[in-house]
Structure 1
């Protein structure tokens, strides 16, 4: 009897063993995914990071143009215009705009169009650790990452990273130095109101929008952001602690 039972008993054990090995492998993968941001975010407090889109272009043989620039060497007008254009509550929230996020969730559940509700910190999280694919999973991952980034890094450093990893042109221009040079042939420490606003409104779609050759529509949007920044730009003071923004 034992001769007939033993083989049949081994098969379930082998299947259980395979399942356990698979679960362990998945656990290790998930652990690595969680550990990478936990380790790298504190390091990025003083080391210039490289974004996922930069790596994707490099691995596929496409050019990447990025020159790191200290935030103090970037025009205050541009910093304020980016905040007014992309995330007006940047200095007030803790990485996630909960009010905007609740509205997005309500719209999603009701089947209405969603606008994204991505804060600058969430965009930094996506660029550093995720992909640009539009999905509910990616958005869900952005939230805890953004909260962690805001907890570990200062607003000034988050903005500095954003300005240096944001895609600012269709030919691999990353960061404000490459963006300002490609659009206007200038360095980003001395930008007029018009140029600062045009660069800021390019960010939602840098592969299509051309700040150096703006059409009427882009000029109108830039004018709105310029007016908003002139009026409310001092709300961006968290990126220049200890001094007033030179607007």
Structure 2
């Protein structure tokens, strides 16, 4: 009996690994058509509102927006392997001192969550987030992670991805965003259903100015190519 149970568990885990790895490898090249969050938001609307989502290649996404998101969300994105342990420790120490939670999710972790998992917090989801983050860091380049992130992240009410957000907030293609417009979109990412990139509130305006300063300090954005893909 126990042997049968263990065999069943082993087969389930094996198929999960095979299917998840296959999905990660497919999305290494194929655009992500839809995410679990998009489905949930669509069901919430009772089909009365449209979901705005347009996939564009990384070459057609403003470098300023790519840099603005890194400076806003994860300044060690190009250096870490999916997890910023210094930021995690800092967040843990911060949370012990006060009641307000401060997160330390990297862009890689957010990408794993957005593409493969559901939004509600739980230990199961967090564990799967770690697993998928490890997989995408292993199989994808940093540039691909950024491409998928910027095409799947929520950037407004029912607005997903950089192209849809650029058209929604500034009536232009994401390729034509100015530095300050890119910073405005990056500034709303912590809570895109509440904050507005345009017109910007006083808080978003100050955050936008901070992001632009960080962009200047950061310098030009250059992705490293993995050795096996050179």
Corresponding position of 1:197: 183
Q: Equivalences for 1:1-247 in 2 at 5 Å? A: 28-49=11-32, 50-58=34-42, 61-62=46-47, 63-105=50-92, 113-170=100-157, 172-234=158-220, 236-238=221-223
TM-superposed deviation, 1:22: 6.5
Structure 1 residue 107: Cα displacement: 5.8
Q: 1:20 to 1:109 in 2, by over 3 A?
A: farther
Q: Which one has a bigger Cα radius of gyration?
A: 1
The answer to whether the 8 Å contact 1:67/1:177 transfers is yes
5+ long unaligned stretches in structure 1:
1-15, 242-247
Structure 1 length normalisation: TM-score? 0.79
Contact (CA 8 Å) 1:51, 1:127: kept in 2 or not? Answer: yes
SS state of the match for residue 227, structure 1? helix
Mean Cα deviation higher: 205-214 or 126-135: 126-135
With the length of structure 2 as denominator, give the TM-score of the two structures: 0.85
Aligned partners of 1:192 and 1:224: how far apart in 2? 16
Q: 1:97 Cα shift?
A: 0.9
| More displaced 10-residue stretch of structure 1: 19-28 or 196-205 | 19-28
1:28 offset after TM fit, Å?
5.0
Distance 1:106 1:219 in 2: 29
SS of residue paired to 1:151: helix
Asked whether the equivalents of residues 78 and 197 of structure 1 are also in contact (C-alpha less than 8 Å), the reply is yes
The number of residue pairs the alignment matches comes to: 222
Q: 3-state SS of the aligned residue for 1:159?
A: helix
Is 2:88–2:104's contact at 8 Å kept on the other side of the alignment?
Answer: yes
Matched-pair contact (CA < 8 Å) for 1:95–1:119: yes
Whole-angstrom CA distance in 1 between matches of 2:164 and 2:128: 29
- Gap change, CA 1:180 and 1:105, over 3 Å in 2: same
How has the CA–CA distance of structure 1 residues 240 and 200 changed in structure 2, closer, same or farther, with 3 Å as cutoff? farther
Aligned partners of 1:159 and 1:239 also within 8 Å: no
The worse-fitting range, judged by mean Cα deviation, of 42-51 and 60-69 is 60-69
